[in-house]
Amino acid sequence: MTKPIIQFKHVQKRFGDNIIIPDLNFTVNQGEFVTILGSSGSGKTTTLKMINGLWQPSAGEILIDGQQISKLDQVKLRRHMGYVVQQIGLFPHMTIAENIAVVPKMLQWSHSKIDRRVKELLELVRLEPGVYANRYPQQLSGGQQQRVGVARALATNPPYVLFDEPFGALDALTRSELQQEIKRIHESLADKTFMFVTHDINEALFLGQRVMVMHKGQIVQFASPEVLVRHPATPFVEELLGTVQQNENLWRHQHD
Ligand SMILES: Nc1ncnc2c1ncn2[C@@H]1O[C@H](COP(=O)(O)OP(=O)(O)OP(=O)(O)O)[C@@H](O)[C@H]1O
């Protein structure tokens, strides 16, 4: 059965006089993998930041698991949401194991519980614990550091994980590997809700069970990849999909 887990009801966000998001309405169900796709400045990051309570909406309401976000304890809320960003933000003076263990330590988990969890997470993101646990971030490649970022976000087993362009700075091959990993991880963890911001349409279509297309602070289409490709709702979506086709044509042409 589908259970609404993140709901936006007439959400507006303004910075000063600037209305960035005029009236946002959507529902994400428990266990879904939703990608948010849109041009630069369309409000993707702002939407994610309102989900984890980093920013408050200027009007309207956001419900997390049926409860108004404004009434929830903000620290607890953030601990229930993993957050993975492009600038991973690993602490350079801490080992990989220590980086993953930051929040569990704050929550005063026992040493043995932390050790077990770190090992489990490193295995989940396919970094051999014996090799990587005691290394420092600068001894890892960009892709490996992103894997640590994912492990850290999952450390306390949060029901929601938010991703903000996590693979934006990686080369195409590493990016594609990590996309497959993140899809596998979502499938292997029952009932986790993933929301993933990207401006790469291929990434959005590959990862998302549904894709939310944003333009100028509004949702122009929120549908499965199949529906999006077959029935683009607006000329903007058509244009986005057209860029994929153009790239393919270019690639084919070059290899003819
Ligand atoms: N703290 C802020 N103060 C004022 N304006 C802001 C602030 N944060 C974001 N904005 C504006 O809000 C709009 C949406 O920004 P947001 O970061 O959500 O876009 P985005 O879709 O994530 O873009 P990108 O893909 O470039 O990261 C932009 O026009 C941005 O300039």
pLDDT tens for each residue of 104-158: 998 899 999 999 999 999 998 889 999 999 999 999 988 899 899 999 999 988 8
Please, what is the Cα angle at 13 between 60 and 158, to 5 degrees? 75
Q: Is 46 in the pocket of ligand 1 (CB under 6 A)?
A: yes
pLDDT at 46 over 90: yes
Q: Is 192 in the pocket of ligand 1 (CB under 6 A)?
A: no
At 112 the three-state DSSP class reads: helix
User: What is the model's pLDDT at position 25?
Assistant: 97
ipTM: 0.93
Model pTM score: 0.89
| Angstrom distance (rounded) from CA 170 to CA 178 | 10
Q: Which domain holds residue 159?
A: 4-255
Nearest to 103 by CA among 75, 81, 79: 79
- Distance from residue 101's CA to the centre of ligand 1 (Å): 31
Q: Is 217 in the pocket of ligand 1 (CB under 6 A)?
A: no
**Nearest-CA residue for atom 13 of ligand 1:** 41
How many distinct structural domains can be found in the chain? 1
pLDDT at 73 over 80: yes
Q: What is the CATH number of the domain that holds 171?
A: 3.40.50.300
At 198 the three-state DSSP class reads: strand
- Distance from residue 41's CA to the centre of ligand 1 (Å): 5
What would the mean pLDDT of 57-85 be, rounded to a whole number?
88
- Distance from residue 7's CA to the centre of ligand 1 (Å): 21
- Distance from residue 61's CA to the centre of ligand 1 (Å): 20
pLDDT tens for each residue of 204-235: 999 999 999 999 999 999 999 999 998 999 99
Q: Is 44 in the pocket of ligand 1 (CB under 6 A)?
A: yes
Q: Is 198 in the pocket of ligand 1 (CB under 6 A)?
A: no
**Nearest-CA residue for atom 24 of ligand 1:** 40
Q: Assign residue 31 a region: left if phi > 0, alpha if psi is -120 to 50, beta otherwise?
A: left
Which pLDDT band, with edges at 50, 70 and 90, does 167 fall under? confident
User: What is the model's pLDDT at position 250?
Assistant: 61
Q: Ligand 1, from 17, 39, 45, 87: best to mutate by most atoms within 8 Å of Cβ?
A: 45
Dihedral of the alpha carbons of 17, 23, 28, 33, in degrees to the nearest 10: -60
Helices (H), the chain: 44-51, 74-79, 96-100, 102-106, 111-124, 129-132, 142-153, 172-188, 201-207, 225-230, 235-255
- Distance from residue 185's CA to the centre of ligand 1 (Å): 29
The residues near 163 (Cβ < 8 Å, ≥ 6 apart) are: 83, 84, 85, 182, 194, 195, 196, 197
In whole angstroms, what separates CA 238 from the centre of its chain? Answer: 24
User: What is the model's pLDDT at position 247?
Assistant: 62
- Distance from residue 59's CA to the centre of ligand 1 (Å): 17
Cα separations in angstroms, 248 against 36, 135, 167, 240, 251 = 22, 40, 21, 13, 5
Q: Which amino acid belongs to residue 166? A: P
User: What is the model's pLDDT at position 239?
Assistant: 87
